[in-house]
Amino acid sequence: MNRTLRHTSALTILAASMLAASAFAAPPGNDPAALGQIRNAALKSDWALERLADMTDLIGPRLSGSAGAAAAVTQVADAMRKLGATVTLQPVKVPHWVRGAETASLVEYAGRPAGVTQRVVLTALGGSGATPQAGLIAPVIVVRDFEELKARAAEVKGRIVLFDVAFDQQMAERGQAGTAYGQAVIYRGVGTRLAAQMGAAAVLVRSAGGADYRLPHTGASGLQDGARIPAAAVSAEDAMLMTRLAARGPLSMQLILTPQVLPDADSFNVIADFPGTDKADEIVIVSGHLDSWDLGTGANDDATGVVTAMAVIDTLKKLDFRPRRTIRMIAWMNEENGGRGGATYLEANKANAAKHIAAIESDEGSGRVFGMRTSVGNEAMKHFAPLKAALLPMQAGALQRADALGMGDLHGLEAAGVPSFAPLIDESTYFNYHHTPADTFDKVKPEDLRRHVAVMAVTTWYLANMEQPIGRANVPPRQ
Amino acid sequence: MNRTLRHTSALTILAASMLAASAFAAPPGNDPAALGQIRNAALKSDWALERLADMTDLIGPRLSGSAGAAAAVTQVADAMRKLGATVTLQPVKVPHWVRGAETASLVEYAGRPAGVTQRVVLTALGGSGATPQAGLIAPVIVVRDFEELKARAAEVKGRIVLFDVAFDQQMAERGQAGTAYGQAVIYRGVGTRLAAQMGAAAVLVRSAGGADYRLPHTGASGLQDGARIPAAAVSAEDAMLMTRLAARGPLSMQLILTPQVLPDADSFNVIADFPGTDKADEIVIVSGHLDSWDLGTGANDDATGVVTAMAVIDTLKKLDFRPRRTIRMIAWMNEENGGRGGATYLEANKANAAKHIAAIESDEGSGRVFGMRTSVGNEAMKHFAPLKAALLPMQAGALQRADALGMGDLHGLEAAGVPSFAPLIDESTYFNYHHTPADTFDKVKPEDLRRHVAVMAVTTWYLANMEQPIGRANVPPRQ
């Protein structure tokens, strides 16, 4: 404050005093000056970056049930208590899957010189079953899609099925990364289950990502108790190699995967309330998910979401701004391989859904943010002009509406009528790192993180103080 | 030929007949038409790409002493015999270093939550010593350069030294990739030896490469028998993590590296002569190195060099062009971790050095080629106008002179006066993949490989038929 006062006119000093006074009296509400102050404060702060370093450098991977996940619960709860928020740890029973050994090599193929085998880079998928400790050896069949699998159904039994379906990086660069991901990842979910049902000895998918650094991308398989077979993602390079070798003749692989499915573990959603004033019983959620996959340190997926949600409260706290509605920061547990955190919260808040005015989740990485996405009804869009105006000076004034966002932890609330919000993010390179060892702290650009916090903070504040009704999400029933 | 004849005038038919006749009579020499025919034939052929697939898909890694290296000797010799070349396997005794287990984690650091450790992605360096099977645990000191190591000499004994020196990717993108590599890789060579001399428990270097996909880059350490300590390259991400954690307080690592140094193994240079006519006793070498590191399939480093050298002879064979001088294709063994192939050849050909007119090696990957580099004397440069003219239509007419190229397998010959040549290659992304698992077949663009063969074939032919003296390399004594 000192530096500002030194250079300002009497009029500015008067205005500043009024603002300072208002912070201690009535909340400043959604007037443009308040929104601008929040935006500017966030753009100057590295509080979120420091929390990101704490989470990724000191803890690292946070797969549900792991020591890292437990440490992250404590770390976030402590940090939120320091901000003066009211912290609740909501118990969540989570799946507990633990990676084991994972090696593979191509041991028979046409043209193989004596004594030579080719190593395949792969990583087990979440929920994968295990091979014997010494591994299994089986012929491989490579298919391009579900149609080809169906056509070759008679060959599946006892064999290793590889779905060699390439991630469409060009589509991602055109701005449709989510669609590109959806097209590829269906084989990790439905494909693995289908192969298991058809009697495959094991199932492999080509990694869903657009880079060419021979990285396998893990993620949840569609496998369930009673029908778990060994399942892994191979790098794009290895999928292409196997396709080329299969074109030369019969191909066999030795596969060792020894993950374990342990009994469900005790964990928590971290819920931190920043209480409202005159509408304290109404809730605006701002959130990210605390669990991550186990290969990287989950900086993009989704420490960024958690620390930016946390920083919303830090930003308001530093400005001494109190919202009318309660702002509820949630660090969700188990988004990656079960969705138990979101489900537990929904179950506990069913009766109270109407008091949930809106819910924000950031879970698409730390790329450049240029606005927000939302599932509010069309009729409410006109009430968001001041929010857009406040974000326009930082080139983040876009507000993109869809009938449903379907965010990992919010889709249940959305189906119950709570409008969803999410930052609108450049995802063109997001899936290159997604679920790989390379999702690490250095991938997050400090400037992009500050912008991320600014957009989240201004939006959260705006929702928590809106006079106008934003209505309920109007979600068509799921197919 | 049929398709060409269908659409040509009588004059062209006449010219074509004359060329065809000349191929069976006198060699066509360095007239522009012959050079153009070689260039165009290479640009249409995928023979080199097929050999690249054979070498990388069927064999894969080819580290000296491995089954892969032995298989590659056989594969290349067979392919050259099929072309009618006179093949000699020149025995070479090679170092035999075998990778073992390699895992590491950060087990103590300020702010570490109970039960949490951070995995470090690393890979043993060639010639590394081993830790005990169960690993070692030691404090880590992170240094930025040799100066800092010297200043902190008292701390080195019993500790793990990390040289956190970043590869300068911007310099690489400005066209100085070799310099950027040299600046970083000195720590892998000299740094490892120095740390061993100073009593370090182990030594780590930051990987020399500009990508951010958490890949460790292996390569030869500077360690020798009698002073081998565990030595590894950590990924750039992990080096940065360790630097950040070391800034928070004391840092300890558990390190397991179990490579083995086995007795020297028997291997070979593959030498395939395409005999000359009136100057058959004079030799032009065209070459690449057959061995590779063990993590990837060595497509760029250096299957590309070998198959393009092989394809020079395939191209001339298909055109039925016979050179005046003998063209000697060499697939060198052991460039990566000993240079024994080059040294063995030099020793055997000392008395015959004057008959070696020039030597080409391709060992800088498969990026776009835009000409040649050479260490011919300044006075000879004027004789290369027809070569440049022949390569200009494919935008590869640059001829860049340096006093010495210092190519891995040619520097001894160069010091003995044999002018070196090498393709002039865009290396801006070469070191991102160099010595990593991601150096695979798919990284080689077919069009770039065809261009590579074209430049190598035209240059080799030109050198094998030159009338004018190109003189000897004029190499200043090594420092």
Q: Domains of chain B, with CATH numbers?
A: 26-97+264-465 (3.40.630.10), 100-258 (3.50.30.30)
Contact B214 A118 (CB under 8 A): no
Mean pLDDT for the stretch of residues A360-365: 98
Restricting to B residues 432-471, those with a Cβ less than 8 Å away from any Cβ of A are 432-433, 436-438, 440-443
pLDDT score, position A476: 55
Q: Which of A287, A288, A293, A290 is nearest to A337 (CA)?
A: A293
pLDDT score, position B25: 46
Query: Which one of B70, B111, B116 has the shortest CB-CB distance to A68?
Result: B116
Q: Do the beta carbons of residue A253 and residue A107 sit within 8 Å?
A: yes
**Number of C-beta neighbours around residue B462 at 10 A:** 26
End-to-end CA distance of chain B: 55
Question: What is the residue whose two structure tokens read 């522009």?
Answer: B32
| A118 has a chain B CB within 8 A of its CB | yes
Mean pLDDT for the stretch of residues A86-106: 98
Question: Residue B433's closest chain A neighbor by CA?
Answer: A213
Q: Do the beta carbons of residue A208 and residue A184 sit within 8 Å?
A: yes
Q: How many CB pairs under 8 A join A and B?
A: 113
* Three-state secondary structure call for residue A206: strand
Q: Which of A301, A246, A286, A295 is nearest to A443 (CA)?
A: A301
Answer positive or negative: Cα dihedral of B84, B89, B95, B96.
positive
Q: Tell me the C-alpha to C-alpha distance, in Å, between residue A58 and each of A29, A45, A69, A82, B245.
A: 38, 21, 12, 18, 8
The two tokens of residue A318 are 């530093």
pLDDT score, position B370: 97
Restricting to B residues 350-389, those with a Cβ less than 8 Å away from any Cβ of A are none
Q: Tell me the C-alpha to C-alpha distance, in Å, between residue A391 and each of A42, A252, A358, A401.
A: 12, 56, 19, 16
Tell me: cis bond preceding B212? Omega within 30 of 0 counts: no
Answer positive or negative: Cα dihedral of B269, B275, B279, B281.
positive
| B78 has a chain A CB within 8 A of its CB | no
Question: What is the residue whose two structure tokens read 């169960």?
Answer: B134
ipTM: 0.93
> Kindly report the CA angle at A414 between A412 and A416, in degrees rounded to 5?
75
pLDDT score, position A90: 98
Alpha helix locations (H) across A203-321? 236-248, 304-319
- Indicate whether A21 pLDDT > 70: no
Q: How many residues are there in chain A? A: 479
Chain A residues in contact with B440 by the CB 8 A cut-off are 214, 237, 241
| B60 has a chain A CB within 8 A of its CB | yes
Question: What is the residue whose two structure tokens read 């006749």?
Answer: B21
Alpha-carbon distance A261 to A282, whole Å? 40
Query: Which one of A114, A213, A297 has the shortest CB-CB distance to B438?
Result: A213
pLDDT score, position B93: 98
Q: Which of B433, B175, B210, B425 is nearest to B300 (CA)?
A: B433
Q: How many residues are there in chain B? A: 479
Alpha-carbon distance B104 to B108, whole Å? 12
pLDDT in tens, A283-311: 999 999 999 999 999 999 999 999 999 99
Q: Which of A24, A30, A243 is nearest to A120 (CA)?
A: A243
Q: Which of A141, A134, A142, A463 is nearest to A327 (CA)?
A: A463
Cβ burial B287-325 (10 Å sphere, 16+ → b, else e): bbbbbbbbbbbbbbbbbbbbbbbbbbbbbbbbbebbbbb
For the purposes of burial, counting CB atoms within 10 Å of the CB of B39, is it exposed (0-12), middle (13-18) or buried (19 or more)? buried
Question: What is the residue whose two structure tokens read 């899957």?
Answer: A97
Q: How confident is the model at residue A28 (pLDDT cuts 50, 70, 90)?
A: confident
* Three-state secondary structure call for residue A212: coil
| A78 has a chain B CB within 8 A of its CB | no
| A70 has a chain B CB within 8 A of its CB | yes
pLDDT score, position B242: 98
Contact B212 A118 (CB under 8 A): no
For the purposes of burial, counting CB atoms within 10 Å of the CB of A471, is it exposed (0-12), middle (13-18) or buried (19 or more)? middle
Query: Which one of A113, A116, A442 has the shortest CB-CB distance to B237?
Result: A442
Contact B67 A115 (CB under 8 A): yes
Q: How confident is the model at residue A25 (pLDDT cuts 50, 70, 90)?
A: very low
Q: Which of A259, A286, A303 is nearest to A442 (CA)?
A: A303
Question: What is the residue whose two structure tokens read 């052929």?
Answer: B45
Question: Residue A241's closest chain B neighbor by CA?
Answer: B57
Chain B residues in contact with A109 by the CB 8 A cut-off are 58
- Indicate whether A10 pLDDT > 50: no
pLDDT score, position A42: 98
| B67 has a chain A CB within 8 A of its CB | yes
**Percent of chain A clearing pLDDT 70 (strictly above):** 93
Query: Which one of A60, A115, A212 has the shortest CB-CB distance to B438?
Result: A212
pLDDT score, position A477: 52
- Indicate whether A272 pLDDT > 60: yes
Question: What is the residue whose two structure tokens read 């080719």?
Answer: A118
pLDDT in tens, B334-386: 999 999 999 999 999 999 999 999 999 999 999 999 999 999 999 999 999 99
pLDDT score, position B8: 40
- Report, as ranges of residue numbers, the positions in chain B whose pLDDT lies below 70: 1-27, 475-479
Mean pLDDT for the stretch of residues A211-220: 98
Chain B residues in contact with A432 by the CB 8 A cut-off are 213
For the purposes of burial, counting CB atoms within 10 Å of the CB of A327, is it exposed (0-12), middle (13-18) or buried (19 or more)? buried
* Three-state secondary structure call for residue B105: strand
Q: Which of A396, A302, A233 is nearest to A55 (CA)?
A: A302
pLDDT score, position B23: 45
Question: Residue A238's closest chain B neighbor by CA?
Answer: B440
Q: Which of A80, A13, A38, A452 is nearest to A272 (CA)?
A: A80
Mean pLDDT for the stretch of residues A43-72: 98
**Number of C-beta neighbours around residue A114 at 10 A:** 8
- Indicate whether A18 pLDDT > 60: no
**Number of C-beta neighbours around residue B351 at 10 A:** 7
Contact B59 A113 (CB under 8 A): yes
End-to-end CA distance of chain A: 55
Contact B59 A109 (CB under 8 A): no
- Best residue of A243, A431, A440 to probe chain B, by most B CBs closer than 10 Å: A440
- Indicate whether A112 pLDDT > 90: yes
The two tokens of residue B52 are 């690249």
Q: What is the DSSP letter of B24?
A: H
Alpha-carbon distance A308 to B153, whole Å? 42
| A300 has a chain B CB within 8 A of its CB | no
- Catalytically annotated residue among B102, B282, B335, B427: B335
pLDDT score, position B10: 42
Alpha-carbon distance B34 to A67, whole Å? 70
Can A108 be counted among the known catalytic residues? Answer: no
**Percent of chain A clearing pLDDT 90 (strictly above):** 92
Beta strands in B29-177 (DSSP E): 86-98, 102-108, 118-120, 122-124, 136-143, 160-163
Helix axes A304-319 and A32-44, enclosed angle (nearest 10) = 120
Q: Do the beta carbons of residue A286 and residue A336 sit within 8 Å?
A: no
